[in-house]
Amino acid sequence: MKITLSDVAFSYGKRRGNRPPAGAPLLENISLTVEQGEMLALAGKSGSGKSTLLQLIKGFIVPCAGQIRLDGLNPHAERRRECFDRIGYIFQYPEHQLFASTVFADIAFGLRHRRLDEATKQEKVRQAMAAVQLDYDDFRDRSPFELSGGEKRRVAIAGIVVLEPEVLILDEPTAGLDLQSRDALFQLLHRLNREKNLTVIWVSHQLEEIAQHAARLVFIRNGAIQADGPPATLFADASLRRTCGWQEPPALVVGRLLRAAGHPAAGWLSPQRAADAIIRLRGRYPHHENAPREP
């Protein structure tokens, strides 16, 4: 699915006939194209309009001005149900939305209007659980409320994956998770992106997370797109960092210094890869005063 936003604006408040709300726009002149299969992160300060932009793409709210097109279709006028179903949306803290007595019932809930026989429904749930690495036999009859935080989030994602969307939108998906659960979640998202060509769009306040996992960063500032591009390129721009209030993620700084020293490091480096590279370089520069330094 190709997502296209053209000069989109949005304000909260009551409409006056066909006229937009009187309040100041939360988003203004947003133009953005997202191709199928992208891994895109949205960032910006609190209140900048990130979550509102996600809700506009999903179709929860309607823009006050401009156009949104999904593969050329207006999601608010043409084949609305189809457009809506093609985009999955995971709210922040999705485990708070789990409600069924078993994992199977929770994941299968979204299939209730699809007129599927029981065997087909079970197979779709089985496939969705496999996609998020939850063993069907071990988890299907368990209460979702007895699971760990990371497992609950996997159940919530499986409840969307079972509907076979082309786009997955997540609002701060790592909020409240420990480091191990965050890493496991992004391993899952990368696998879904790679194996199903699923477009993944998420909101994050963590620049290190964005540098590691996003192929593209869109930064919202004062209701407008301030920056759009590969995270490593944007974070390396000192002028842009000052404008956006960023600090370059340490892993990117280390990678840049390693490249300056002749190591073929590219983009984000895991702590282990960075440590291994530094150890190798120390063999080439045994005396500290001869080691390369940042200009």
Residue 278 has pLDDT above 90, yes or no: no
pLDDT in tens, 28-82: 999 999 999 999 999 999 989 999 999 999 999 999 999 999 999 999 887 888 8
What the block records as the tokens of 288 is 């500290």
278, burial (CB in 10 Å: exposed 0-12, middle 13-18, buried 19+): middle
| Average pLDDT over every residue of 164-188 | 94
Report how far residue 73's alpha carbon sits from residue 53's, in angstroms, rounded to the nearest whole number: 18
pLDDT in tens, 8-40: 999 986 655 555 555 667 999 999 999 999 999
Strand partners, 203: 42, 171
Report how far residue 144's alpha carbon sits from residue 61's, in angstroms, rounded to the nearest whole number: 30
For residue 18, the one-letter residue type is N
245, burial (CB in 10 Å: exposed 0-12, middle 13-18, buried 19+): exposed
Of 193, 213, 194, nearest in space to 204 by CA:
213
Round the CA-based radius of gyration of the chain to a whole number and report it.
22
pLDDT the model gives residue 113: 87
Please, are residues 106 and 99 in contact by the beta-carbon 8 Å criterion?
A: yes
**DSSP result, 53-110:** HHHHHHTSS--SEEEEEETTB-TTTSSHHHHHHTEEEE-SSGGGG--SSSHHHHHHGG
According to CATH, the topology of domain 3-230 is Rossmann fold (3.40.50)
Cα separation values, 109 from 98, 158, 162, 168, Å: 10, 11, 10, 18
pTM recorded for the entire structure:
0.86
Q: What are phi and psi of 67, to 5 degrees?
A: -130, 145
Residue 193 has pLDDT above 90, yes or no: yes
Domain boundaries, the chain: 3-230
CB under 8 Å to 31, separation ≥6 — which residues?
5, 6, 7, 8, 66, 225
Q: What are phi and psi of 9, to 5 degrees?
A: -135, 150
